[in-house]
């Protein structure tokens, strides 16, 4: 059974503000969410309002992908309610824009730096340690 941040970081189990007060106590997430408990329908209405507030299709896509990455239940609820409207946002042509502008929106921190000294060491043997 996942608890705390592990539960909230699992997009398949995270219900966001739909966790009841009892569930929040049981799973150790009291204080990690806004205090208001919302139904899935209330979350859907709120999220759709946030979606509509985005000025560009690219920002709408980023918003929807953030919902997808944090709360799959809410994402699929929204998709079911607004499928025709969302399809051009989550698929072509906005996907092409998001690929073109990926580095502007997602700053990736390097996790490692590899420096090679080109000697008689073969490349496969260097990579075999990884």
- Where are the chain's structural domains? 38-105
**Would you state the pLDDT for residue 118?**
47
Give the side-chain half-sphere CA count within 13 A for 36: 6
CB-CB neighbours of 8 under 10 Å: 20
**Would you state the pLDDT for residue 69?**
96
Mean pLDDT of the region 74-86 = 96
CATH of region 38-105, choose from 3.40.50.970, 1.20.1370.30, 3.10.105.10, 3.60.15.10: 1.20.1370.30
Please report which confidence band the pLDDT of residue 67 belongs to, taking 50, 70 and 90 as the band edges.
very high
Residues in contact with 125: Cβ distance below 8 Å, sequence separation at least 6, in sequence order: none
pTM above 0.95, yes or no: no
* pLDDT mean across residues, the chain: 83
**Would you state the pLDDT for residue 1?**
86
Mean pLDDT of the region 89-118 = 60
Mean pLDDT of the region 23-43 = 96
Q: Are 31 and 39 in contact (CB under 8 A)?
A: no
Is pLDDT larger for residue 51 or for residue 130?
A: 51
**Would you state the pLDDT for residue 123?**
53
CA distance 40 to 77: 8
CA distance 40 to 71: 11
């Amino acid at each position: 059974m996942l608890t705390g941040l592990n539960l909230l970081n699992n997009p398949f189990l995270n219900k966001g503000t739909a966790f009841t007060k009892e569930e929040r106590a049981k799973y150790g997430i009291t204080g990690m969410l806004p205090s208001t408990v919302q139904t899935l329908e209330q979350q859907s209405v709120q999220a759709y309002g946030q979606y509509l507030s985005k000025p560009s299709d690219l920002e709408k896509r980023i918003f929807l992908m953030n919902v997808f990455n944090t709360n799959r239940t809410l994402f699929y609820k929204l998709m079911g309610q607004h499928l025709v409207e969302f399809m051009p946002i989550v698929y072509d042509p906005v996907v092409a824009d998001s690929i073109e502008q990926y580095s502007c929106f997602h700053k990736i921190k390097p996790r490692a730096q590899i420096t090679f000294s080109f000697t008689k060491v073969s490349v496969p043997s260097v990579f075999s340690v990884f």
